Chains A and B, each alone.
Chain A
Amino acid sequence: MHFKSVVVSNLEISPGYRRIRLTAPRGIMEAKPGQFVMVKVRDGVDPLLRRPFCIYDVGTFSLEYPDTPRRYYLEILYKVVGKGTSILSYLHERDSVDILAPLGNGFTIGEPGEEKLLVGGGFGLAPLYFLARRLVDASPVKVFIGGRRKEDVLCVTEFEQLGIDTYVATDDGTLGARGLVTEVLEEHLSLEGKRRAVFACGPEPMLRAVARMCAKYGIRCQVAVEATMACGLGACLGCVVKGASHDEKAPDYRCVCKEGPVFDTTELLWDEAVNEVRP
């Protein structure tokens, strides 16, 4: 879908991180966790390109007048990192943006019986909250949230409100365990017994650690990866990452917007920087 959208709310949820609610057509309710949107934050040529964001949530709301129809929204969780997100952060209620959505492939949910372990760092929590809402009624879910400092730990309350066990780690120990979230994850991966699946989104080093860990324990892992994009439709081929069989002589590039942004970790190459994102 391609639609004009109106800002419903745009709140700071932690220093430098915000959540924006945007009106959307009814079709947004078909969006799958892991899919993304391309947002033109304002008209004109500055900034020129749309910015990609994973969908944090979709739903319905009513205006505060009697007898108004229910409306549909999508939410984006974002960090202010550059020009596009900076402009987005200044938008107020009733400001408008232009959106392409939903795009790309979502997470494969898997079997209800398995334990779902969600691992996120920073604004990588965005697609995981949407995923958790879809998973929680049918499957046991645990979420592992990492950040450099406590300000970078997002959505703990939101996950707890879904009744999900939440584990937190920060590099400096200002919230939860001191250390890497992947260390906390490994304690749970190494437990005997249950069938498990892992879903991760966050900084590239975290994804690499999760991918290796899941390979070690033989657990299926899907990741949502980030990339600089121009079109979001699979046409420009600007947003590639290295596939599992990649080497310099026989390059294997996967297009994030069309083949991803969700990949099984076995599809990608993890022995070096998979993705370089510049704000």
Chain B
Amino acid sequence: MRKPDLSVNLAGITLRNPVMTASGTFGYGEEFSEYLDLEKIGAIITKGLSLRPRAGNPMPRIVETPGGMLNAIGLQNVGIDAFIEKKVPFLRTISTPVIVNFFGNTVEEYADLAARLDAVPEVAGVEVNISCPNVKHGGIVFGTDPKAASSVVGAVRRATTKPLIVKLSPNVTDIVEMAQACAEAGADVLSLINTITGMAIDLKSRRPALANVTGGLSGPAVKPVALRMVWQVSRAVKLPVIGIGGIATATDALEFLVAGATAVQVGTANFMAPDASQRIAEDMERYLRENGIADVKELIGSLRV
């Protein structure tokens, strides 16, 4: 059969396939360029940016847990000035869309950053992080209260013409309520889930395994939670959804599409293998061909309940 069509469209951003790299797990793209072909993945989402550089949290910052890992990096990043000066020149050399994840301490900072990024032509879209669990003002305050989320998303919407993705936190009672608030405030796309707050203890020392005490759980362990939330949100909200959470194989990724996601982000699996996202995209194509599916879009939301 003919080569299947893997392309999807996210609010005007055309992805050659639905496989993106998740913010915070892929640096600024360049770090991984030796290990995979960046032209073979759908999009790159860069490490969360703030107005000023951030040093991040004390260490230890990461610990492995069964089927996953906890991290409390603390949104360490180079800041928007260094991003534009030092990271964008590399990103300009690839044709794969670059989506910039960012966060602020206040609604005004979110809007400032959105306006700055709006002026950068290499940025195909933005992903607003209202969901980092590891810093006091790193988004989670905005990510767990629908009114606060709405004010941030509204301010960003007014500050940018670029496609606007809002990344949701799973650390809420009602994910649909949060999703609807963001949709009404002007989001074009919703991505979920960010990490689930968790902790690990070293019994010998009776100390937390992370200096921050709690951290965000990611990896295959969170996939069932993520699938459930993607399914709930995609049937309740009209916007395209990006599924994130424990995707390590094409099977995982396809399950998210069936649940209702239009695209997926590969996160922790980039640490298991730096070429994970490319491999998932290739395996996805093989699955379509072997199953006689001409267009990946046929799978989106095809869950038979």
Chain A residues with CB under 8 Å of chain B are 2, 40, 45-50, 98, 100, 227-231, 233-241, 250-253, 258, 275-276, 278
In the complex the two chains form, is B55's CB within 8 Å of A235's CB? no
In the complex the two chains form, is A231's CB within 8 Å of B274's CB? yes
Chain B residues with CB under 8 Å of chain A are 24-27, 31-32, 35, 47, 55-56, 58-64, 66-69, 71, 73, 76, 202, 209, 219-220, 248, 268, 270-275
Q: Which 8 A-B pairs have the closest CB atoms?
A: A235-B27, A251-B55, A238-B62, A230-B271, A231-B271, A235-B31, A233-B31, A45-B220
In the complex the two chains form, is A100's CB within 8 Å of B55's CB? no
Measured in the bound complex, the distance between the Cα atoms of B73 and A240 in whole Å is 9
Measured in the bound complex, the distance between the Cα atoms of B64 and A2 in whole Å is 22
10 A-B pairs with C-beta separation under 8 A:
A2-B275, A46-B67, A48-B271, A50-B272, A228-B62, A230-B268, A235-B27, A239-B61, A251-B58, A253-B56
In the complex the two chains form, is B66's CB within 8 Å of A46's CB? yes
Measured in the bound complex, the distance between the Cα atoms of B272 and A163 in whole Å is 41
Contact of B76 among A229, A237, A275 (CB under 8 A): A237
Q: Note all chain B residues with C-beta closer than 8 A to A241.
A: 59
In the complex the two chains form, is B25's CB within 8 Å of A235's CB? yes
Q: Note all chain A residues with C-beta closer than 8 A to B272.
A: 40, 45, 48-50
Q: Tally of A-B residue pairs with Cβ under 8 A? A: 100
Q: Note all chain B residues with C-beta closer than 8 A to A251.
A: 55-56, 58
Measured in the bound complex, the distance between the Cα atoms of B268 and A50 in whole Å is 12
Q: Note all chain B residues with C-beta closer than 8 A to A229.
A: 62
In the complex the two chains form, is A47's CB within 8 Å of B56's CB? no
Measured in the bound complex, the distance between the Cα atoms of B219 and A275 in whole Å is 25
Measured in the bound complex, the distance between the Cα atoms of B271 and A234 in whole Å is 11
Contact of A236 among B35, B73, B202 (CB under 8 A): B73
Most B-side CB within 10 Å, residue of A46, A229, A233, A250: A233
A183 CB → nearest B CB, Å: 28
A139 CB → nearest B CB, Å: 33
Measured in the bound complex, the distance between the Cα atoms of B69 and A31 in whole Å is 30
In the complex the two chains form, is B35's CB within 8 Å of A100's CB? yes
In the complex the two chains form, is B61's CB within 8 Å of A240's CB? yes
14 extra interface residue pairs, beta carbon distance < 8 Å, beyond A48-B68, A231-B25, A235-B31: A2-B273, A2-B274, A40-B273, A47-B64, A228-B62, A228-B63, A230-B69, A233-B32, A233-B274, A234-B31, A236-B25, A237-B61, A238-B71, A278-B202
